Structure 1
Amino acid sequence: MELLKNKVAIVTGGSRGLGKAIALKFAYHGASLILVATNQDRLNQAAEEVRNRGAKAEIVAGDIAKPAFSEEIVKVTLDHFGQIDVLVNCAGVITRTPVEKLPLEDWYRVIDVNLHGTFHACRAVLPFMRRQASGKIINMTSQMAKLPHPSASPSYEVSKAGQIALTRHLAYHYAQYNICINAIAPGSINTDLPKSMNPEARERLRSAIPLRRLGEPDEVADCALFLATSLSDYITGETIDINGGTLMD
C-alpha cells in the first residue's frame, strides 16, 4: 500500500542517517521527495536511491541555518511538484565539548542548525500549508532533550529541547488550519556514531537499553511514516520517544 501516494515531502538532512532512511521509506510509499543537505555528492547518491525505488526526487544543497535557504527550498519544491504536503526537519549537528571549553562559535553553530534551521524551514512552508488547509511537519529531536548525556555539549541538548517547545507552539497555533506538527525523540540508533564505537563501548551502550539492542534507522522511519500519513490525523503537538525503554516518558 502506498500510504503517501501523490504526496510531496521535503526532508532536510536527507543525504544520510535518519534523514535518508526516512526519505527511502517515504519513496517506497509513493511520495515525491525534495532532499536537502550540505553535501551535494551525498545528496545525489541519496536521490538516486530514491529514484531506484520508483519515486521522483530533487535535491537542494545548502545551509539550513541561513533563513533565505529555506525560502529557496520551498521555491524549488513548488517549481518541480506544485505542492508541499510533508516537511521533515532532520538536519542536525552535534559537538561533545564540555561547557567550560566550548567555543562560542560552536555553541551558536549547533543552535543555528538544529533549532534555528528547524524554525526557518517551518516558517517557510507554513504559509503554503495554511492556504491548502493541510500539512504534516515532523521535527527530529533527541532523547538528549529530556535526559542529560555524559558526553554531549550543552548546545545540542538545548537545541533539541527547543525543537520540542517549538513543535508544541506551532502545533497549537496551526491546528486550526488542519496542520499536524509532531516530533520524534530517538535514543540510541544504529547510525554512524554507534557503528564507529569499539566493541566494549558499543556493548555498554547496548546493555543500558531495556530492550538490549540499539534501534534501527528504519524503525525511526516507520514512526515518521505514521506521522506523515492520514493514520495520525488526530495527533499533533506530541513528541514520540523511540529509545528501547531507556526513557519511559
Structure 2
Amino acid sequence: MSAPMLEGRTAVITGAADGLGWAMAQRFASEGARIVVADLRADLARQRVNALREGGAEASFFAVDVTDEAAVDALFAHAGAEFGGVDVLCNNAGVTRDSVLRKMSLDDFRLVLDVHLQGAWLCTRAAVASMRDTGSRGSIINMSSIAGKVGNPGQTNYSTAKAGMVGLTKATAKEVARYGIRVNAIAPGLIRTAMTEQMDQAVLAESVASVPLGRIGEPGDVADVALFLASDLSSYMTGCLLEVTGGRHM
C-alpha cells in the first residue's frame, strides 16, 4: 500500500474555514498533511481544526488578516513553531463586493484587490522565505477564477484581482524555480458554494446548462486538483493555470 501523498508535509490554507478552503483542508489531511487553518472566523475555524483532529490529522488554527503584513509574517512563524515550516501554501482567502462599474465604490474595489491579490502576494513572499530557510521544495497554489479569464459583469474588482493572481503565479514561478519551489494556479468555474446557493434558481439552472459536462462543480472537484498540484504528481509543473470548469468558457 502506497504512503499518503502529503505525508510529513505542512499545508497553510488561507480562508480554510469553509467553502473551497475547507474542502482542500479535508482532502490534504486525508493524504497525511498537517494543516494550518488560517482564517479570521475564529469560532468556525476552531471547529474545523477539532474536526480534522478527530479524523486523526495534525491541525492548528491561526487568525490572520491576509492584507496585514505583520499578521502574515506571524502566520508563517506559527507554522514554523508548530510544525517546523511550510511545504504547501494555498492562497484561497477572498471576499466579494459586487456592483456594476458606475456604482462600485473605490473602497470596494480596493478591498477585493487587497484581500485576493495583496494577500496572496504577502503570503507567497512569506512562504517562499520559509521554504528557502528549511530547504522545502514546496508548492504554492493560487486560487484564481475563470472570471479572471473571461470577466464577470458586476465584478470588475473580482475579475481584475483574479487575473492579477495569474500574473503573480507566473512571475513568482520564474523567480523561485531555482529553489525547487513550484507555483501554480487553479481557475474554478461554476462551483457549488455559499455564493451559488444564493443565486436565483432560474439563473443557476441556465448557468449549469452552459456547462459542457452538464453539472455544477463540487468543492471536492477543486480540492482534488489542488491535491495534485500540492503533491509530487505535479513535480514537473510550474507557472501553470488549471481550469476546473466542466468545459465552460473553454
The TM-score with structure 1 as length reference comes to: 0.96
Contact 2:64-2:72 within 8 A present in 1 as well: no
**SS of corresponding position for 1:65:** coil
Contact 1:91-1:113 within 8 A present in 2 as well: yes
Tell me the residue number matched to 1:238.
240
Cα deviation for residue 149 of structure 1 reads 1.4
Cα distance in 2 for partners of 1:53, 1:146 equals: 37
Cα distance in 2 for partners of 1:5, 1:54 equals: 13
Cα distance in 2 for partners of 1:64, 1:144 equals: 21
Cα deviation for residue 83 of structure 1 reads 2.0
Contiguous gaps of at least 5 residues in structure 2: none
Q: In the alignment, which of 124, 146, 149 is matched to residue 146 of structure 1?
A: 149
Tell me the residue number matched to 1:136.
139
Contiguous gaps of at least 5 residues in structure 1: none
Cα distance in 2 for partners of 1:52, 1:197 equals: 34
Tell me the residue number matched to 1:59.
61
Q: For each residue in 1:158-177, what CA deviation from the matched residue of structure 2 results, as whole angstroms up to 9, or x when unmatched? A: 11111000000000111011
Cα deviation for residue 198 of structure 1 reads 3.4
Which amino acid in structure 2 is aligned with residue 223 of structure 1?
V
Tell me the residue number matched to 2:176.
174
Q: In the alignment, which of 96, 102, 105 is matched to residue 104 of structure 2?
A: 102
Tell me the residue number matched to 1:114.
116
Tell me the residue number matched to 2:90.
88
Which amino acid in structure 1 is aligned with residue 143 of structure 2?
M
Q: Are 2:165 and 1:163 aligned?
A: yes
Cα distance in 2 for partners of 1:186, 1:232 equals: 18
Cα deviation for residue 51 of structure 1 reads 1.3
Cα deviation for residue 133 of structure 1 reads 4.8
**SS of corresponding position for 1:64:** coil
How many corresponding residue pairs?
Answer: 247
RMSD: 1.0
Q: For each residue in 1:141-199, what CA deviation from the matched residue of structure 2 results, as whole angstroms up to 9, or x when unmatched? A: 000000121332x1111111110000000001110110000000000001111122333
Q: Are 2:16 and 1:10 aligned?
A: no
After superposing on structure 2, the runs of 4+ consecutive aligned residues of structure 1 that deviate more than 6 Å are none
**SS of corresponding position for 2:150:** coil
Tell me the residue number matched to 1:188.
190
Percent identical residues: 37
Alignment of 1:209-248 (within 5 A): 209-248=211-250
